[in-house]
């Protein structure tokens, strides 16, 4: 690999955090090179014809509440670089066995009104959070530090730090409890654990404020827009270059890694202190996922009409059923009725499939590194709420957790969050340090979802890591 000139900074990995880091550095006037091991950019933001020609599937990430709500992405002119969001009329549907469904809508009032006895409880829980969010978002989606709004952050923490099971007690109806369980299950942890409410709260609040959109044409379009903007600033990108050693790279004053601790140790472990290597080796990864994509002859025939209008559908039934399944996965088991997260993008984005045809995307949680084929289990769970679904399948494509890691090395054992986001790794990921983005070696930084605030398409990990590098190495404050 030859270069005509060296760089101020190099970013390894082009997921949303790597792209965000590269943009932040380039906007500050530095010369930046972004390198990507795969032939296409994006990390978890990729779209491909996985099943049949003309059927475009999001390979990893599919629905983007955090991208729409990201305070960093909002500063970028991504619309001018080809990104268009589509907002389904219902953000998320949660069906039950009796044919009814709870739903999340952008309007808090509409969502609450459909919860019957829990209308007042829902309003009391979320209305203060919606008012608080703009003043605390940078503290919540950032490293542990002296907060700008300490009182507001404390109020947020009172609802985000408890377990999802504890918060569920404020609701009376199965509908409200089930809807809450589906939100909290995005934490990929047993719902009895502390901080599992945080993910549910953040996703719901972002839904009410900015929606749960999909990217027209596929999630790849988010990566393409970010890359286009980066290039417009003068940034350089090289693909199909898989970094395994620092010796492969041209010289730079700062190198930022959009990788997890496992790859970081492989690439640069010899440069770190023994203490930092020990900390990285102790980093804990979470559960994995088993994913299925389908090409369909017709829309999914959900019994609950609301789910036919939902961009995302949470399949799992009652709170207790979802909680049981999530606990089982952490015990190394594969539940018969797992929580299934399903997206049906082609219902709202007609570029995803041929006329009259459709795509669907879903995954369930499995033990880390599982190779068990969960296709039948997932399809049975969909049939439970959409009888006749199997009759509409034209083709399918599957990823077990090991195959997901092969496709994207940041998904260790199928962990799509870059490591368990529990109390022990919420703010101190990947190691207990004054700045989680610094390594023990000057000029080397980690900017992946293995740093605060963790998983999700928001770019905040990369943005914060780049700001730290700008301050440390270049004496710039952004």
Q: How would DSSP label each residue in 363-387?
A: EEEE-TT-----HHHHHHHHHHHST
- For residue 403, give every residue at least 6 positions away whose Cβ sits within 8 Å of its Cβ, in sequence order, or none: none
On whether both 23 and 44 belong to a single domain, the answer is yes
Q: Does residue 4 register a pLDDT over 70?
A: no
On whether both 181 and 143 belong to a single domain, the answer is yes
- The answer to whether residue 293 is domain-embedded is yes
On whether both 438 and 357 belong to a single domain, the answer is no
Q: How far apart are CA 174 and CA 98, in angstroms?
A: 11
- CATH classification at residue 330: 3.90.660
Q: How far apart are CA 1 and CA 23, in angstroms?
A: 23
Confidence of residue 142 (pLDDT cuts 50, 70, 90): confident
* Per-residue pLDDT, 210: 97
Q: Is 332 left (phi over 0), alpha (psi -120 to 50) or beta?
A: left
On whether both 119 and 141 belong to a single domain, the answer is yes
Q: How far apart are CA 246 and CA 13, in angstroms?
A: 14
In sequence order, which ranges of 297-374 are alpha helices (DSSP H)?
Answer: 319-330
Q: Does residue 323 register a pLDDT over 60?
A: yes
List the domain range (segments joined by +) for residue 123: 85-214+287-407
Computed on alpha carbons and rounded to an integer, the radius of gyration of the chain in Å comes to: 21
On whether both 401 and 327 belong to a single domain, the answer is yes
Task: Single out the residue in 355, 386, 407 at which a domain terminates.
Answer: 407
Q: Does residue 1 register a pLDDT over 50?
A: no
- The answer to whether residue 330 is domain-embedded is yes
- The three-state secondary structure class of 238 is strand
Task: Single out the residue in 348, 382, 407 at which a domain terminates.
Answer: 407
Burial 304-338 (b: 16+ CB within 10 A, else e): bebbbbbbbbbbbbebebbbbbbbbbbeeebbebb
Number of domains in the chain: 2
- The answer to whether residue 194 is domain-embedded is yes
- The answer to whether residue 434 is domain-embedded is yes
Task: Single out the residue in 407, 431, 465 at which a domain terminates.
Answer: 407
On whether both 193 and 248 belong to a single domain, the answer is no
Instruction: Look up residue 227 and give its two tokens.
Output: 């890359």
Q: How far apart are CA 465 and CA 412, in angstroms?
A: 21
- The answer to whether residue 163 is domain-embedded is yes
Position with higher pLDDT, 141 vs 192: 192
On whether both 183 and 299 belong to a single domain, the answer is yes
Residue range 407-466, pLDDT digits in tens: 999 999 999 999 999 888 887 899 999 999 999 999 999 999 999 999 999 999 999 999
Instruction: Look up residue 48 and give its two tokens.
Output: 């491909």
On whether both 315 and 334 belong to a single domain, the answer is yes
Confidence of residue 2 (pLDDT cuts 50, 70, 90): very low
pTM as predicted:
0.95
On whether both 103 and 188 belong to a single domain, the answer is yes
Which helix (H) or strand (E) segment holds residue 315: the answer is strand 310-315
- The answer to whether residue 412 is domain-embedded is no
On whether both 223 and 346 belong to a single domain, the answer is no
- The answer to whether residue 92 is domain-embedded is yes
- The three-state secondary structure class of 292 is strand
Residue range 194-246, pLDDT digits in tens: 999 999 999 999 999 999 999 999 999 999 999 999 999 999 999 999 999 99
On whether both 430 and 393 belong to a single domain, the answer is no
On whether both 206 and 328 belong to a single domain, the answer is yes
- The answer to whether residue 187 is domain-embedded is yes
């Amino acid at each position: 690999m030859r270069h005509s000139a060296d760089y101020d900074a190099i970013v390894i990995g082009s997921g949303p955090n790597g792209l965000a880091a590269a943009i932040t550095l380039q906007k500050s006037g530095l010369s930046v090179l972004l390198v990507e091991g795969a032939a296409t950019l994006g990390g978890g933001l990729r779209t491909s014809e996985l099943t049949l020609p003309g059927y475009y599937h999001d390979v990893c990430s599919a629905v983007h509440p955090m991208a729409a709500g990201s305070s960093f992405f909002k500063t970028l002119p991504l619309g001018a670089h080809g990104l268009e969001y589509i907002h389904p009329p219902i953000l998320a549907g949660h069906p039950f066995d009796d044919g009814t469904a709870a739903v999340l809508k952008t309007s808090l009032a509409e969502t609450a009104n459909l919860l019957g006895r829990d209308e007042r409880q829902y309003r009391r829980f979320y209305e203060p959070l919606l008012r608080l969010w703009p003043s605390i978002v940078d503290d919540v989606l950032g490293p542990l530090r002296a907060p700008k709004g300490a009182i507001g952050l404390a109020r947020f923490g009172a609802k985000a730090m408890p377990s999802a099971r504890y918060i569920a007690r404020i609701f009376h109806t199965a509908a409200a409890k089930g809807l809450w369980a589906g939100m909290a299950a995005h934490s990929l942890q047993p719902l009895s654990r502390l901080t599992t409410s945080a993910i549910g709260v953040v996703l719901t609040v972002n839904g009410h404020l900015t929606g749960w959109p999909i990217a027209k044409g596929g999630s790849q379009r988010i990566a393409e827009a970010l890359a286009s903007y980066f290039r417009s600033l003068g940034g350089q990108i090289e693909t199909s270059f898989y970094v395994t050693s620092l010796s492969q790279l041209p010289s730079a004053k700062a190198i930022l890694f959009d990788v997890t601790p496992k790859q970081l140790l492989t690439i640069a472990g010899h440069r770190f202190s023994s203490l930092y290597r020990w900390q990285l080796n102790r980093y804990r990864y979470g559960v994995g996922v088993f994913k299925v994509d389908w090409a369909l002859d017709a829309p999914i025939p959900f019994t609950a009409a609301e789910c036919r209008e939902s961009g995302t559908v949470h399949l799992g039934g009652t709170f207790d059923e979802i909680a049981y399944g999530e606990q089982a996965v952490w015990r190394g088991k594969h539940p018969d009725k797992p929580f299934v997260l399903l997206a049906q993008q082609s219902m709202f984005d007609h570029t995803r499939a041929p006329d009259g045809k459709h795509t669907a995307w879903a995954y369930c949680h499995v033990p880390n590194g599982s190779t068990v084929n969960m296709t039948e289990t997932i399809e049975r769970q969909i049939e439970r709420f959409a009888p006749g679904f199997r009759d509409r399948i034209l083709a399918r494509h599957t990823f077990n957790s090991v195959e997901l890691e092969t496709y994207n090395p940041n998904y260790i054992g199928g962990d799509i969050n870059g490591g368990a986001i529990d109390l022990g790794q919420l703010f101190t990921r990947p190691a207990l340090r004054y700045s989680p983005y610094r390594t023990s070696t000057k000029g080397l930084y980690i900017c992946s979802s293995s740093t605060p605030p963790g998983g999700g398409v928001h770019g905040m990990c990369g943005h914060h890591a780049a700001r730290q590098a700008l301050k440390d190495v270049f004496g710039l404050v952004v």
